[in-house]
Amino acid sequence: MSDPRAITAESAFRRGDYAAVERLCLEVLADFPKDAPATLLRGMVAVRERRTDEAIDLLRAALVLSPNDYIATKWLIGALYENARYDEAIEHGVTARALWPDDVQVLIGLSHAYMMGRQDIDASVDCLEAAIKLEPRNPALRCKLGAAYELLARDEDAHTQYQAAITAEPRSEEAYPKLGRLLMGHGNFVETLDICEQALRIIPNSAQVHLVYGQALRHVREFERAEAELNKAISLDPRITTTAAKWLEEDGRFEEAVQLWEAATQQENCPGSAYYGIVKSRKMMQADQPLIQRIEGLLGKRLSLQDRAAALYALGKAASDLGDYQESMRRYDEGNAVNHRLHLSGKPFDSERIAGWRRQTFEMATPEFMERHRGLGSDSNVPIFIIGMIRSGTTLTEQMLSSHPMVGGGGEQRFWLAEAPGLIDLGQQTLDGAKFVAARDRYLAVLRSLEPTAPRVTDKMPMNYFVIWLIHLAFPNAKIIHIKRSPLDTALSIYMTDLAKPPEFAHNKRNIVDGYRDYQALMAHFSKLIPETCMMTVQYEDLIADQEFWTRRLIDFCDLPWDGRCLRFYDNERQVSTPSRWQVRQPIYKTSLEKWRKYEPWLGEFSELLEESRAPIT
């Protein structure tokens, strides 16, 4: 802009006097209608004032007047991103990357567009890896790449990135909580405590570090210290309110949790998760219509995918409570579509690939293989494994068992799911004996870190059914409890739960049916390898119908003396972090049985499970 008014307009923009910028630019454009800099400045002002549609038009016009202008391109990509026009942002981002391949900000912007638009995690990772090569000591970049690796289940690579961020900048507040949460996901609570203590010596006022530290303390049963850390985190950052509410919910302090969620709904930009928390806490009535309308109003706003999904699940549950099952299914369909886009569109469920893996597993997992490697097993009978399809009743079963004074509740440990791929080579049909024994011993150390004195400790990772043959090989004296539930009720429960870390088959009816069939095939095969003295199958519906009979059978199967506290599992004060935490804090109820009948006209692909769900359960 050679006009003297240009310098004045640019100066006004830098100090935030956007009215002056607009006036000066319009004066210039009145004299020079094709002035690219004036058009660009107007577009930049529109972005700052959140007039994104107008901003996009102006920035496009600036690029027509000055093709490949760097500033106009960057601002246009940002405006498209802000307006959720992700495919267009990707198109311009690809062009910008070709023009300026060594520009880190262009790479970051394109990475975000890939992630939010197409959920193309691989493409997003490619951009971030290129950016890291340009700025290897940038801790924020390392954290972004680590988070993307986690979405691809590349946890070791994520660990490397978070640790590199800390090494590059020890005051990197973002890296410590991310690394701590990753470690907790693998049961490494003591290491998480060490990381947090290291962080707090350097950045003592980090709310997120105090929060993760408190979560780790809870896992090792340091409850008073844990709550002190939670309170410290809230005092440092009141936005942690919804996290605190979930914390209280997991401890069974539901009234306190609801109070925090209700407080959060009074805040500007209240997250959808706060409304979902309220709706989950009780049955919705006609008197709750104002609350339901507020949730519906959220959908008209610009929301993150997480908040949109939470709002839709809340509306699905509310409609179910009010008896409008068609509307309920419609909302759950919408919520699952959002969650699939958020969590799984970069990890498509490939039934053919899974069938190939299953075939190789069956070829390897034979009685002869088990006999040949029997010497690798531990003599320990400490673990009690509770397995089954997710949402089948494993949490309830663990709550019953862990109410016994001789049983500690270990929760869901991802240990064996994470370790198994490094222990076996399905292509070569081999097992690394040394690694297997080391993993076996490390697993016992994990259980002991959770429950140092309990003679027995549960691990209720439902999806250990994928590797239960290896687990039995590692612990031939351990007890395995397999919980089965009506196929349709299981499928619906998966579909109607806003899962934090969904398996690949979740959030899609066709995939859930295929995932359920895979589970059935795996358990049919593995049941032939594990003797009945080691694995007991319990039908969830039978357990609900005659709680005392089946609870006594479970306790007897685990070689434990009877204790009546197992019948009062709802009095158990242990932390429950799974979606079933509401149910296991109250006596057994039967309202979830045959819930599918209410939804029968709208089951879609779930109808394939109808015949065996109607048949007598055995």
248: confidence class by pLDDT, cuts 50, 70, 90: confident
Q: Pick the residue with more confidence: 43 or 255?
A: 43
The model's pLDDT over 154-193, given as tens digits with 9 standing for 90+, comes to: 888 999 999 999 999 999 899 999 999 999 877 788 899 9
β 383-387/479-484 pair status = parallel
What residue spans define the domains of the chain? 237-346, 351-614
pLDDT, average across residues 426-438:
96
The confidence score (pLDDT) of residue 190 equals 87
The model's pLDDT over 508-541, given as tens digits with 9 standing for 90+, comes to: 999 999 999 999 999 999 999 999 999 999 999 9
Closest CA to 171 of 129, 209, 212: 209
- In whole angstroms, what is the distance from residue 372 CA to residue 368 CA? 6
Instruction: Please say if the pLDDT value at position 44 is more than 50.
Output: yes
Would you say the CATH fold of 351-614 matches that of 237-346? no
Residue with tokens 């007991």: 536
The confidence score (pLDDT) of residue 434 equals 97
Check: CB of residue 80 under 8 Å from CB of residue 88. Answer: yes
The model's pLDDT over 187-239, given as tens digits with 9 standing for 90+, comes to: 788 899 999 999 999 999 999 999 999 989 987 878 889 989 988 998 898 77
Phi, psi dihedral angles at 366 (to 5 degrees): -125, 160
**Bridge partners, residue 383, by sequence:** 457
- Mean pLDDT across the chain: 89
- Neighbour tally for 274: CB within 10 Å: 25
The confidence score (pLDDT) of residue 289 equals 97
Closest CA to 505 of 333, 350, 330: 350
The confidence score (pLDDT) of residue 349 equals 85
Check: CB of residue 317 under 8 Å from CB of residue 279. Answer: yes
Its pTM stands at: 0.75
Q: Report the chain's C-alpha Rg in angstroms.
A: 27
**DSSP-derived secondary structure letter, 393:** S
**Bridge partners, residue 387, by sequence:** 482
The model's pLDDT over 78-99, given as tens digits with 9 standing for 90+, comes to: 898 887 788 888 888 899 899 9
CATH of 237-346, one of 1.25.40.10, 1.10.3720.10, 3.40.640.10, 3.40.50.1010: 1.25.40.10
The confidence score (pLDDT) of residue 335 equals 96
- When mean pLDDT is compared over 251-260, 283-292, 444-453, the highest value belongs to 283-292
To the question of domain 351-614 being in CATH 3.30.499.10, the answer is no
